[in-house]
Amino acid sequence: MMLPVDLLVMSCHNLLLHKVRSLLTSLGVIFGVGSVIAMLAVSEGAKRSALAKIEAMGTDKIIIYSHRPPPEGKSEGSENASIVEQYGLTERNREHIIKMDNVKHVTSLFDVRKKVLRGITRTDLKLIGCDYGFLEDTAAKVERGRWFSPADFENKVSVCVIGKNVKPKLFELGRTDIVGSQIRIEDAAYTIIGVIDNEYATKFQEVGGQNDMILIPMPTARARYQDYTYSFEGRNRNILRIEYDVFIVRVGEVGYIDHTSKRISAYLQKTHGTLCDWGMVVPLELLKQMEDTQNIFTIVMGSIAGISLVVGGIGIMNIMLANVYERRKEIGTRRALGAQKSDILLQFLIETVFLTTSGGIAGIAVGVGIGRLITRYSGMPTVYSLWSIALSLVISCLVGVIFGTYPAYKAAQQNPITVLRAE
């Protein structure tokens, strides 16, 4: 029996004699492994991005928000009449929730519902009254300037902190002296004291993303706008009254957050009845649901990509079977010179495994390249994990063993007398 080193040298020599055929044989594995790496990277990137956005909302938070009830809950008014529409979260709700067990504090938001214009063009920016703890309860950070001080709240100062998307939407391109300048919204002017940035672009139901907000102290908002806004439809004047748009409830013990959310939900259902003017989001529950969904997505993506590896393995088996027929003279000569069946079997098996392993290594490079192209041209994040690369390489080796065994067995079973006589 030949030494394993000699068999390896001989196998590599035979493959190098037919470089183009060896390359073509490996293509199926190269693209199979490449697709596995790329798909798993895209899947993992999407998973981490989605989970990071949910985690940015805070796994120790319960988000409660006001929303407009269905049309049947609205009152009809006659022509030339004022229609008062009132719904959503109230100060009474806030005081009751704060007193509940496991609730540390409640941060509230109030959408002033004023048009924010650039010239005569309306923007999608929102003027929001907020509590002092808003920055602490979100993933936003002060990028420039400062956050509100307690004195700003106590004295109801006309100052504001803007999200990073506000600057390009309200000011000319290239302007840098934003802090200290003023924003005029209808009949009020606010001095910008800071700029915040939420890298996850976290959004709250009904009020939108933090990066698109113009934040003012809640006492300033209450003093200037009360809790109502006017709109006109024909001759009717609509008065919309909403005390609070969002409550960010921080709990003390995350382990009891489910119990706390159910207690809050039961209380709001009791006090608001069938009006259906509020909603609730528990980021921790969303996080668990998203993890389960993304795990299923990863399995599906990996399975689809794995099929291409099987197809590549079948292609290798077909080519190796044709290779056995083509090299019958070589096999017969080696057997006549004393080579055993195990030597022939190992030689062809080594050749197949070498082709699939080298194809797997090349496939890893192809997969990384595809992932980077996807990130560059589509903006989708891609994350390469060590386990996915190692798994792809192991699978490519197994493909060589599984699909190379039969051709190697057929080569070992060649009768040297019959083969040499045919030649």
Render pLDDT for 248-302 as a digit per residue (tens, 0 to 9).
999 999 888 899 999 999 999 999 988 889 999 988 877 777 777 777 777 777 6
The reply to whether 343 and 296 lie within a common domain is: yes
The reply to whether 192 and 337 lie within a common domain is: no
- Which range has the top average pLDDT, 57-61, 62-66, 134-138, 198-202? 62-66
Question: Which of the listed residues 216, 250, 276 is the one where a domain comes to its end?
Answer: 276
pLDDT of amino acid 6: 67
In a domain, 385, yes or no: yes
The reply to whether 298 and 254 lie within a common domain is: no
Any idea what DSSP says for residue 360? H
CB 277 within 8 Å of CB 87: yes
The reply to whether 264 and 329 lie within a common domain is: no
For residue range 174-203, what is the model confidence (pLDDT) as tens digits? 777 889 999 988 888 999 999 999 888 888
Question: What total of structural domains would you count in the chain?
Answer: 2
Mean pLDDT, residues 212-236 taken together: 78
Question: Which of the listed residues 211, 244, 276 is the one where a domain comes to its end?
Answer: 276
The reply to whether 72 and 217 lie within a common domain is: yes
Which of 234, 155, 246, 229 lies closest to 186, judged by CA?
229
Mean pLDDT, residues 107-119 taken together: 89
The reply to whether 39 and 102 lie within a common domain is: no
Question: Which of the listed residues 276, 298, 320 is the one where a domain comes to its end?
Answer: 276
**Total length of the chain:** 423
Q: Rounded to whole angstroms, how far apart are CA atoms 41 and 380?
A: 10
Mean pLDDT, residues 13-38 taken together: 78
The domain of 315 spans: 4-53+289-422
Q: Give the global pTM.
A: 0.68
Q: Is 418 exposed, middle or buried (0-12, 13-18, 19+ CB in 10 A)?
A: exposed
The reply to whether 380 and 348 lie within a common domain is: yes
pLDDT of amino acid 262: 93
In a domain, 106, yes or no: yes
The reply to whether 79 and 29 lie within a common domain is: no
For residue range 376-411, what is the model confidence (pLDDT) as tens digits? 888 788 888 888 788 778 877 887 788 778 777 777
For residue range 334-386, what is the model confidence (pLDDT) as tens digits? 777 777 778 778 887 888 888 888 888 888 899 899 888 888 888 788 888 88
In a domain, 132, yes or no: yes
For residue range 101-110, what is the model confidence (pLDDT) as tens digits? 999 999 999 9
Mean pLDDT, residues 157-170 taken together: 93
Residues near 201 by Cβ (< 8 Å), separated by ≥ 6? 53, 209, 210, 211
In a domain, 60, yes or no: no
The reply to whether 333 and 370 lie within a common domain is: yes
CB 193 within 8 Å of CB 162: no
Q: Rounded to whole angstroms, how far apart are CA atoms 303 and 306?
A: 5
The reply to whether 355 and 392 lie within a common domain is: yes
The reply to whether 306 and 267 lie within a common domain is: no
Mean pLDDT, residues 35-61 taken together: 80
